[in-house]
Structure 1
Amino acid sequence: MSKERSTLKKRQRRGEFLTALPLVLFTLLFIVGPMVYMVALSFMTRAETWGVVPQFTLKNYAGITEPVYLSTFWESLKLAVISTVLIIAIGYPFGYFMAKLGPKWKKRTMLLLMIPFWTSSLIRLYGWIIIFRAGGLFDSFLMALHVTSEPLKLLYTYPAVVVGMVYALLPFMIFAVYSSAEKLDFSLVEAARDLGASPMKAFLTVSLKLTLPGLLSGVVLTFVPSMGLFFIADLLGGNKVVLVGNLIQAQLMNAHNWPFAAALSVVLLVLTTVILWLYRKLSGVKDLEGIV
């Protein structure tokens, strides 16, 4: 019996290993490998004409400390904070009350939220260009109401980029909050109200506390991508709003300074890792499964 058990265990381990092998190989080739290459590239020296020279240097990281690059990181962080705050203000109530809808309206609302994902995000952003351009739909609407007498210059401005960020990332916050609020036992809120708690106190002590994991998940899913969504800044902000993603793209495509672009990417990766670590501390989870 002991031999049969040991043989069975060996077969189970071999089966588990063969099952996990494709995932491990994929992770090593397409996730760990590129990250290791990026870190190694950030310590190399740029060639005079093209490519890199395998010569160790810290100049790439030292260059990030220049005011113009620090300012870009600060602007990216500020835009991410503003966008995330607005997304929370809109997405949390939406996801919370969506969970209180009946089954039929839940499906309808979820379908309406998912329909935009059926088209390219670039096409959807071009729609905002049509809305925000001088003499566009928004200007025509305001002038029809006699709110303004001449077209506004909303396109290629900071508010236009913020609107684009909120529009692109809002569904992630809504779905994250909805997944937590749907599991909430609303009878607990009613019990708090019956015990004399005000509506606000019942919400803060019961509803918000129990849906906090979903809120934190939504913050991670919106804050982290907003640091690098450079195409939104390109389309809606022109050259007036420069994010870290725009800077990395410029170093790769225009300056061909791959080591410096790699160094910028490593710093951005460290910042996002710190954010994920803070999420784990605040939510009390032992792994990152809560953000999936």
Structure 2
Amino acid sequence: MPSASAGPAKVPGCSTAPTAMTDASKGFRLLAAPLAFLALFFAAPLALVLAASLAARGQPLDWAFSLGAYQRMLDPLFAGVFLRSAALAAAATLTCLLLGFPLAYFIVRQPPPRRRLLYFLVLIPLTANSLVLTYSWITILRPQGFLDLALQSLGWFGPGPFVLLYTPAAVFLGLTYWYLPFMVYPIYASLEKVDFTLSAAAADLGATRRQTFLRIILPLSTPGILAGSMLVFIQCLCAFVVPDMLGGSKTLMIGSLIQQRFLTLPQDWPLGAAISITLLALIGAAVFLTLRLDRSPASPR
């Protein structure tokens, strides 16, 4: 006699394929609207920029195929802008890491009520308008500004005046200030998952604080460090408002260069498009490298 617990008998010739096909069609219908949105507002503009980068020089564009825009990017002037942008972005990223890791560690070690307050305080710069924050930095760094008067009163660096506005140092300070929260939050998210009883156990076994940090805390926070570094570096590399307002024409970066090629006379849309495509390729390479490092066997889980 068949067991009562046995499932219903399968009818020969029946299949679950129609059900699977129905589920697949429902899933496709759900994705149709997002895919159409991406195609309309991302893929199509990107294809247009790519086509413009391959056009011959001229305004209006001459759509004849040409690699002249990419060849003009090899000019020492444009190569210098790329190198300056990469150097400032790397310096700001490293500084954000050196400042952001201790700050994230300090916040995560606080009691929950204080932790929420500190978390909110770090969030405040992101809630303010970028133009307002940049203008506040202009008032600090301009001649006879707060920083200039403070340095003159100390007398450590001579009589002054100390002009930092429209210099690479001003751009570096602005980028570091503006993008520091983007370093703190990923590291905070990684540290929040760390079991800090491991640190106590390591101390009981005779490990020093330095050994505990290097062998436990730092490896477990590596995903947050990689994510934060990628976010900060990419945004610094593409930054436009901060370099344009704090650096001026003396500290030209990639974002400002693209804006000039598209909007400032004489316009050169193929060159602006070629720089944009090259920048996008560099960003894609940085994201790919970060993902590979995060998925490598040596990466902690």
CA distance in 2, matches of 1:80, 1:231: 14
Aligned twin of 1:133: 142
- Match for residue 51 of structure 2? 40
Which residue in the other structure is 2:103 paired with? 94
- Give the structure 1 partner of residue 7 of structure 2: none
Residue identity in the other structure for 1:259: P
CA contact (8 A) 1:51 1:256 kept: no
Check conservation: 2:125, 2:178, Cα contact below 8 A.
no
Relative to the length of structure 1, the TM-score reads 0.91
Aligned to 1:182: 192
Please state whether the residue corresponding to 1:12 is helix, strand or coil.
helix
The residue aligned with 1:68 is: 77
> Residue 144 of structure 1: CA displacement?
4.4
Match for residue 152 of structure 1 among 151, 162, 173: 162
1:106 and 2:120 aligned: no
Counterpart position of 1:290: none
- The answer to whether residue 227 in structure 2 is matched with residue 217 in structure 1 is yes
CA offset at residue 118 of structure 1? 2.2
Q: Which runs of 5 or more structure 2 residues have no equivalent in the other structure?
A: 1-9, 297-301
**Letter aligned with residue 27 of structure 1:** L
- Name whichever of 190-199 and 177-186 sits farther off: 190-199
Confirm or deny that 1:14 pairs with 2:2: no
Alignment length, in residue pairs?
284
The structure number with the bigger radius of gyration is 2
| Cα shift readout 1:164-205 (whole Å, capped 9, x = no counterpart) | 000110000000100000011111122222222221111111
The reply on whether 1:198 has 2:208 as its aligned counterpart is yes
Counterpart secondary structure, 1:55: strand
1:163 aligns with 2:173: yes
User: Which residue in 2 is equivalent to 1:117?
Assistant: 126
Aligned match for 2:270, one of 250, 256, 259? 259
- Give me the whole-angstrom Cα distance separating, in 1, the residues matched to 2:26 and 2:217: 44
**Which residue of 2 is the match for residue 271 of structure 1?**
282
C-alpha distance after superposition, 1:89-145 (max 9, x if no partner): 101111122111111011101111222222211111100111111111223333444
2:245 aligned with 1:235: yes
Quick check: 1:45–1:57 contact (8 Å CA) kept in 2?
yes
Q: CA deviation at 1:156?
A: 1.3
> Using the alignment, how far apart are the partners of 1:4 and 1:108 within structure 2?
58
Residue 30 (str. 1) matches residue 70 (str. 2): no
Q: Whole-Å Cα distance in 2 between the matches of residues 72 and 224 of structure 1?
A: 16
Contact 2:142 2:165 in 1 (8 A): yes
RMSD of aligned alpha carbons: 1.9
Q: Partners of 1:53 and 1:236 in 2: how far apart?
A: 36
Give structure 1 stretches of 5+ with no counterpart: 286-292
3-state SS in 2 of match to 1:54 = strand
Instruction: Give the aligned residue type for 1:101.
Output: Q
Give the AA of the match of 1:279: T
Measured after TM superposition, the shift of residue 58 of structure 1 is 0.9
Deviates more, 1:242-251 or 1:210-219: 242-251
Q: CA deviation at 1:155?
A: 1.3
Question: Separation in 2 of the partners of 1:170 and 1:223?
Answer: 11
Give, in whole Å, the separation in 1 of the partners of 2:155 and 2:83: 38
Percent identity (aligned):
33
